[in-house]
Structure 1
Amino acid sequence: MPVTPPVNGQIIGQAHYATRAVLERLLATTGTTFHQSVALNAVADSGEAIERGRLVDGMTGTLKIDAEVAEATVAELSAAGLLEEVPGSTVRVALTPAGRDRRQANSAGIANITARLYAGLPAEDLAATGRVLTEVTARANAVLAGA
């Protein structure tokens, strides 16, 4: 049985990059970038529409990217007909029917990949890993915030 290495930034990074490469390969089949997929998910998860500024802030906070990159991503999705502005007093965006279809296609592919990657791993191990990584993320965010 192979020796399990201790959890550290290198092990977490290797898992991140390996799974992200798998994800990006899948997303490429639908013409979606990683940043675009995050934006589509955020809009879908918000309900019918989300304030554009809140979407950009969420992307910068989650992805650790500049606001300009997040704005460009939202603009790309709008230009591709996947997002549209919703009339109102604040600038809000919503998925178009094509945007919903794209997100659904991506989500179905991701569900298949996730099932393959996590198959056979004990639920208690996955739960512990989730707790640990959530705490590490919170601590890293606090460091970034200067706390």
Structure 2
Amino acid sequence: MSSSPLTGQVIGRAHYATRALLERQLTSLGLTFPQSIALNTLAAEGGVAGRTHLVARLTDGLKIDAPAAEAVLTDLTDAGLLREETGGLAFTDAGHEVRHAIADATTAISGRLYGDIPAADLAVAGRVLSLVRERADAELAKPTP
């Protein structure tokens, strides 16, 4: 293991390597990464959430525009994984099954990648990365020069 200083490149490479592992699993489920984030977001909201709220969460989390977020939700609805209902969007039975498959894949990948890293190291990394994200979000909120 190298002791590279923490830089955007190191963070980015770790993100993309981890994401590539997840995307292998998502491809076998017929999903994209943004679709998996939408399903995870809906699960975190208790399985039902307003479309506008989900779009806002996707635009914030994925740094995509609202039309792209809407397209993700439409694709999931068209695929039979989400359904429209009073109060917003909800999982179909198939959507629940796929969401659980994503959770299982994520748990397995996380275990292989993070399982033997000391908890104290993970806590420090989590704090540093949260701070970096907060600062980046603050920069993104500023008007473009």
Q: What TM-score results when the alignment is normalised by the length of structure 2?
A: 0.95
Question: Does residue 82 of structure 2 align to residue 86 of structure 1?
Answer: no
Residue 32 of structure 1 and its aligned partner are, at CA, apart by 1.1
Q: Which residue of 2 aligns with 1:135?
A: 131
Aligned ranges 1:33-48 → 2 under 5 Å: 33-48=32-47
Q: Which residue of 2 aligns with 1:67?
A: 66
Q: Which residue identity does 2:3 align to in structure 1?
A: T
Q: Which residue of 2 aligns with 1:57?
A: 56
How many residue pairs are counted as aligned between the two chains?
143
Q: Which residue of 1 aligns with 2:118?
A: 122
Residue 105 of structure 1 and its aligned partner are, at CA, apart by 0.7
Q: SS of the residue aligned with 2:84?
A: strand
Q: CA–CA distance in 1 between the matches of 2:71 and 2:90?
A: 16
Residue 87 of structure 1 and its aligned partner are, at CA, apart by 2.3
| 1:89-132 Cα distance to aligned partner (Å, 9 max, x none) | xxx00111110000001111111111000121111000000000
Q: Which runs of 4+ in 1 moved over 3 A?
A: none
Q: Which residue of 1 aligns with 2:98?
A: 102
Alpha-carbon spacing, 1:46–1:3, altered in 2? closer, same or farther (3 Å): closer
Question: Does residue 79 of structure 2 align to residue 113 of structure 1?
Answer: no
Q: CA–CA distance in 2 between the matches of 1:3 and 1:104?
A: 35
Q: Which residue identity does 2:142 align to in structure 1?
A: G
Q: SS of the residue aligned with 1:29?
A: helix
Q: CA–CA distance in 1 between the matches of 2:118 and 2:109?
A: 17
> Which 5+ residue runs of structure 2 have no aligned equivalent?
none
Q: CA–CA distance in 1 between the matches of 2:83 and 2:61?
A: 22
Q: What TM-score results when the alignment is normalised by the length of structure 1?
A: 0.94
Q: SS of the residue aligned with 1:94?
A: strand
Q: CA–CA distance in 2 between the matches of 1:3 and 1:79?
A: 45
Q: Which residue of 2 aligns with 1:25?
A: 24
Q: Which residue of 1 aligns with 2:6?
A: 7
Q: Percent sequence identity over matched residues?
A: 49
> Which 5+ residue runs of structure 1 have no aligned equivalent?
none
Residue 3 of structure 1 and its aligned partner are, at CA, apart by 4.2
